[in-house]
Amino acid sequence: MSNWLRRIIHANRRASTAFINLLPLSLRRDGNNHFRTRILPDAMRKGATCYDCGGGSQPFADAEMKRRWGLRTIGIYIDADELAAALEGTYDEVIVADLCRYEGVGDADIVICQATLEHVPDTRAAIFAIASILKPDSLAYMFAPSRNAVFARLNLILPQRLKEKILYAVLPEVKDHQGFPARYDQCVPGQIEQIFNAAGLTVVQRELFWMSTYFMVFTPLFVVWRLWQGIFYLATGDNAAETFIYVVRRKLA
């Protein structure tokens, strides 16, 4: 990236941040950060068996966390090379599988599914797989962006190579862990909750988020996006959320 473009982007980010700070806290919380720093740390349990569905080379629980909590961690990912790229000691076991076609054995105390559901071709099948992994009365923790987010709609429309070029030009720091093809199949709160019910999962916690950073590199567009989001919320309610977190419990048989 050229120096002049970098300066323009940084200036726009500062201006966008100043605008964000004028908004209520509820409209400027980052869902992904909240998931990693607040939700998942509270999910850990001593001696738990923890499945990470879709974490690949960057699962939530690293080797130090495993030792501290005595976790047994299992990674499920469709790409063997991605799993092999995880730091040594991260996983006790890896399963190379398409989550949409996987059937578990009901041995998980904790299931983590972070920024994965938007990438699968069949969200219903993936959620049923997660339900099959869980022990009865155990919890799964999920974070995903919504199909209704503007950035998600653009993601669905633009060619993959063009998306990657734009994304990595303005956000080079995400090159190793973002930019994968996304489908957003049934990936809105209303549809997700219907699937949970069909899969025998009870929602015990739901948090919706109204903030994403993609448009901060151009402040006028960022302001227009925030105005559009407010209008869209009036029309669709909670389904207008940018991202969401669900904690669900597998029902007792």
In the structure encoding, which two tokens stand for residue 203, read together?
């929602």
210 Cβ neighbours under 8 A, 6+ residues apart: 26, 27, 28, 29, 229, 233, 240, 241, 242
Model confidence over 22-50: pLDDT tens digits? 999 999 999 999 999 999 999 999 999 99
Whole-angstrom distance, CA of residue 244 vs CA of residue 170: 24
Instruction: Answer yes or no: are the C-beta atoms of 20 and 36 closer than 8 Å.
Output: no
Model confidence over 78-123: pLDDT tens digits? 999 999 999 999 999 999 999 999 999 999 999 999 999 999 999 9
Instruction: Answer yes or no: are the C-beta atoms of 145 and 187 closer than 8 Å.
Output: yes
Domains of the chain plus CATH, in order, are: 3-43+98-250 (3.40.50)
